[in-house]
Amino acid sequence: MVGCIVPELPDIVVYIEALEPRILNQRLERVRVASPFLLRTATPPLEALEGKSVGELRRIGKRIAIGFSDNLWLVLHLMIAGRLHWSKPGVKLSPKRTLAALDFPHGSVLLTEAGSQRRASLHVVQGEDGLRELDPGGLEVLTADLDSFAARLTSAQHTLKRALTDPRLFSGVGNAYSDEILHRAQLSPVALTQKLSRDDIQRLHHATRSVLVEWTDRLRAQARGGFPDNVTAFREEMAVHGKYGKPCPCCGTKVQRIRYASNETNYCPKCQTGNKLLADRALSRLMKQDWPRTLEELESLMRKRS
């Protein structure tokens, strides 16, 4: 789905910061669920939240957890196309897009999802034990020191792209920001975690923290105290993510991509892979031995075919 991503750490943080002044210490008057596929738990019942006040909001990976009195938690996972909106109290639900509404005295939190697939989820759980069951256990990169980061990164042999986006390894990092992190660190998305040097890991640790902090600050500034309505996969200020064929802001080389399923990885060959092109599975299968190994070969091949 073009333009859609699972909201990642910066997006979730800014969502929570927008929700806090609107619903913290406010009483939930009613929960309206329009999609039967949204609620994934039966006990405690969803109705148990009605009449209770919000005491805390928390990020759990890419989920938003809303804590109510009596130690009950409402946990939202927006998945790819789910988004939150703030609207007037008791707003009418759109049957095509709106999955649920949380009605408070001064406004309603709407959960919408684009497209026909229903992947967003809502859980109601009891206490910290219930929250832990929904936590994949990824390391919180913004507070992790270098040694903790290195230990988690090298705990198994993965490509860097896979490791950064695995919620069991690192919390809150997904497809979009992993591209930006790897570009900032000047590392290949297919480099193997257990073959990195200490300097590589240090650069990656610094890049992970700096990219996530910078984008959180950027999104916070764009919201300007309002509710963030433009949560999207592609932003003009990004260096490589969603920039296939456009010049790298650091060296001017055309950004390349690896496509797989509904996702793609974007990277700069000069900054990240020593001018080597990474094989795109679909194209390399089609072109077989004609698959270019360098940018020069690719440009030569394109000239011959034009």
Q: Pairing state of beta strands 98-104 and 72-77?
A: unpaired
Instruction: Give the angle 257-229-6 at the CA atoms, nearest 5°.
Output: 40
Residue 158's contacts (CB-CB under 8 Å, 6 or more residues apart) are 166, 169, 192, 193
Q: Is 218 helix (H, G, I), strand (E, B) or coil?
A: helix
- Phi first, then psi, for residue 226 (nearest 5°) are -90, -165
pLDDT in tens, 176-214: 999 999 999 999 999 999 999 999 999 999 999 999 999
- The one-letter amino acid code at 51 reads G
pLDDT in tens, 50-94: 999 999 999 999 999 999 999 999 999 999 888 999 999 989 998
Q: Which two tokens stand for residue 200?
A: 């590589």
Instruction: Tell me the pLDDT of the chain averaged across its residues.
Output: 89
Look at residue 285 and tell me whether its pLDDT is greater than 50.
no
Residue with tokens 């390894």: 169
Q: CA–CA distance from 53 to each of 11, 23, 65, 272, 297 (Å)?
A: 24, 9, 14, 49, 63
Domain definitions of the chain by residue range: 9-134, 146-290
User: In DSSP terms, which residues pair with 267 in a beta bridge?
Assistant: 256
Q: Which of 121, 148, 150 is nearest to 62 (CA)?
A: 121
Q: Rounded to two decimals, what is the model's pTM?
A: 0.89
d(CA 46, CA 42): 7
User: In DSSP terms, which residues pair with 122 in a beta bridge?
Assistant: 39, 76
Q: Identify the CATH class of 9-134.
A: alpha beta
pLDDT of residue 165: 95
By residue count, the chain amounts to: 306
Q: Are the C-beta atoms of 250 and 268 separated by less than 8 Å?
A: yes
d(CA 27, CA 50): 8
Query: In the chain, how many H helices and how many E strands?
Result: 9, 10
d(CA 178, CA 57): 25
d(CA 242, CA 61): 23
Q: Distance from CA of residue 26 to its chain's centroid?
A: 28
Q: Distance from CA of residue 24 to its chain's centroid?
A: 24
Residue with tokens 């998945």: 79
Composition of the chain by helix, strand, coil, percent to 5: 35, 25, 40
pLDDT in tens, 216-257: 999 999 988 899 987 776 789 999 999 999 999 999 999 999
Residue with tokens 């990219």: 211
Q: Identify the CATH class of 146-290.
A: mainly alpha
Residue with tokens 């996969």: 233
pLDDT in tens, 95-105: 788 999 999 99
